[in-house]
Structure 1
């Protein structure tokens, strides 16, 4: 029997949930390599299990057996790359990353300093100020100035996918905002998501903005790619300033066309729900992750993505026995 180490070449989409379009893109990347797409979730009845070659039910990341269950899955299924999708799992996955890598499983994840900078909104604000990134004025309830201009945007310190975000119109509404939330001035202009791909060394290889035309439950359902030079340059400067970013990240910002100004509101250090538009515009980030981590080839800088590509989503039913 050979003593050669096993080659892990399969892909795990962690917490796939209802991200069917992303799962289909991941499956295309694995099929081209003769590999297997594994998808996990904490619930058994999720749509992406119908896309996966193999589906695994995992405990939540806060459970005592989550780490051992994930390590066992990656070992048994020869997982060469894990792509996380759920904001709340990122820091726990970062803690587990060295153990997974030691057994042959790469994890597409920025470093701990970048994760904390992006996840904790006050840290994000401090990062913006330090690096002179244009962003809304940010306060907590204890640091509000005497004169307040409404409306304000209130959001949890570690929120994601617009969960809990509300617009505050007056002092009565402000009184009901939890004391540990942050408050921001309302940005003007059109809302954009910018999908970035950074190689293992943190070099931004591709930056694709899309205008968020229509949003439901925090996820974009209609969007269009647009080449806005100022927005692209600011997002590039953010990527270069992050301490240890890599892989797929997305940045939320507002762009005022009349004033040609940008206001950046947050950074998400993971693949986002609008990524399928990026892929359709030839920003094949999942494929590039597979090239880096499974094929051990370096992706190249790519600027020839498709501008003015419109994405329109609709509800679709999947059936299972």
Structure 2
């Protein structure tokens, strides 16, 4: 079995986790990486091999992807960024026809996750509260503004005073005016959820976000809290969900209220903490998609109160001439 981590970028820890787990089951298996600029991707240099792909917006993206995967006998694609999820889901049949499985949720569910209003409706249909959305004529301050299709905290605003509002906020139809959930009252958690091929929830690891840079967590703590039984009840089965999903929630410090924020149906940048805590999603993926094994529920397989403090490291490439 050979695996591709696509849009690998800085996902060094994720590549290494898949390498470690793949070698245990398939000693000759390889973990490849792809990127639009692989020579400048740290993850590509630690992978067993890498190749360059066009940007997703280019018409030959899938032609190149299939050709490169076929040449390396790659069986499974593990995506890592939001923008590639919907194209992979839409081209599932094309890829599977070439013997390549994209580890991505159904087109319908990915579409829901990519639209913040749709994912709010999804949560509400499962009995999970979300922040109230205001109209642009009737709102309360402070409030939080974010785009319906955004990622990595781009184009987000905390508005405390009317003087901070501009014409852009009112004229941009993609911007949502939302009830503000104060960090003095709420703790923010990112949950790594694992869904099997049967679309059933197998594991939940809540990670308390202690420090975030550019939308990616740098300091985090695993916490076994009320999110685990709550999500077991509310999101036990989600049609179309497979593999690792990264979901954000706010927990009130003084009462039992839980608010859902969003779901990204892919590995998040902070997943290495869950892996190191014992939630071995790469192993389960290899077992499900390589050995066709059914994954059993494992809600207590990981270590609580494990603190992760990330730091920058170096990858050296000799002979680079630009």
Fold similarity call, TM over 0.5: yes
Aligned equivalent of 1:121: 116
Aligned to 2:91, what secondary structure does the other structure show?
helix
Cα deviation per residue 1:52-78 (whole Å; 9 max; x = unaligned)?
111111001110100101111221111
**Counterpart-to-counterpart distance in 2, 1:235 and 1:265:** 14
Residue 78 of structure 2 contacts residue 102 of structure 2 at CA under 8 Å; is this kept in 1? yes
Aligned to 1:311, what secondary structure does the other structure show?
strand
**Counterpart-to-counterpart distance in 2, 1:183 and 1:306:** 37
Aligned equivalent of 2:313: 316
Aligned equivalent of 1:159: 150
Q: CA deviation at 1:30?
A: 2.5
Query: Aligned ranges for residues 78-157 of structure 1 at < 5 Å?
Result: 78-139=73-134, 143-144=135-136, 146=138, 148-157=139-148
Unaligned ranges ≥5, structure 2:
none
Aligned to 1:260, what secondary structure does the other structure show?
coil
Residue 235 of structure 1 contacts residue 251 of structure 1 at CA under 8 Å; is this kept in 2? no
Query: Aligned ranges for residues 144-293 of structure 1 at < 5 Å?
Result: 144=136, 146=138, 148-175=139-166, 176-177=168-169, 178-188=172-182, 189-229=186-226, 231-240=227-236, 242-293=238-289
**Counterpart-to-counterpart distance in 1, 2:235 and 2:153:** 22
Residue range with higher mean Cα deviation, 23-32 or 260-269: 23-32
**Counterpart-to-counterpart distance in 1, 2:286 and 2:105:** 16
**Counterpart-to-counterpart distance in 1, 2:80 and 2:292:** 23
TM-score (norm 2): 0.91
Residue 81 of structure 1 contacts residue 290 of structure 1 at CA under 8 Å; is this kept in 2? no
Q: CA deviation at 1:251?
A: 0.7
Aligned equivalent of 1:12: 4
**Counterpart-to-counterpart distance in 2, 1:83 and 1:225:** 24
Cα deviation per residue 1:242-261 (whole Å; 9 max; x = unaligned)?
33111110110111132122
Query: Aligned ranges for residues 45-56 of structure 1 at < 5 Å?
Result: 45-56=40-51
Q: CA deviation at 1:150?
A: 1.3
What is the root-mean-square deviation in Å for CA atoms of aligned residues?
1.5
Residue range with higher mean Cα deviation, 166-175 or 53-62: 166-175
Aligned equivalent of 1:43: 37
Residue 134 of structure 1 contacts residue 263 of structure 1 at CA under 8 Å; is this kept in 2? yes
Q: CA deviation at 1:174?
A: 2.8
Q: CA deviation at 1:49?
A: 1.5
Q: CA deviation at 1:319?
A: 0.4
**Counterpart-to-counterpart distance in 2, 1:310 and 1:159:** 28
Residue 187 of structure 2 contacts residue 250 of structure 2 at CA under 8 Å; is this kept in 1? yes
**Counterpart-to-counterpart distance in 1, 2:103 and 2:199:** 12
The size of the alignment, in residue pairs, is 308
Residue 127 of structure 2 contacts residue 234 of structure 2 at CA under 8 Å; is this kept in 1? no
Q: CA deviation at 1:314?
A: 0.5
**Counterpart-to-counterpart distance in 1, 2:200 and 2:12:** 29
Unaligned ranges ≥5, structure 1:
1-8
Residue 199 of structure 2 contacts residue 237 of structure 2 at CA under 8 Å; is this kept in 1? no
Aligned equivalent of 1:6: none
**Counterpart-to-counterpart distance in 1, 2:16 and 2:175:** 36
Aligned to 2:75, what secondary structure does the other structure show?
strand
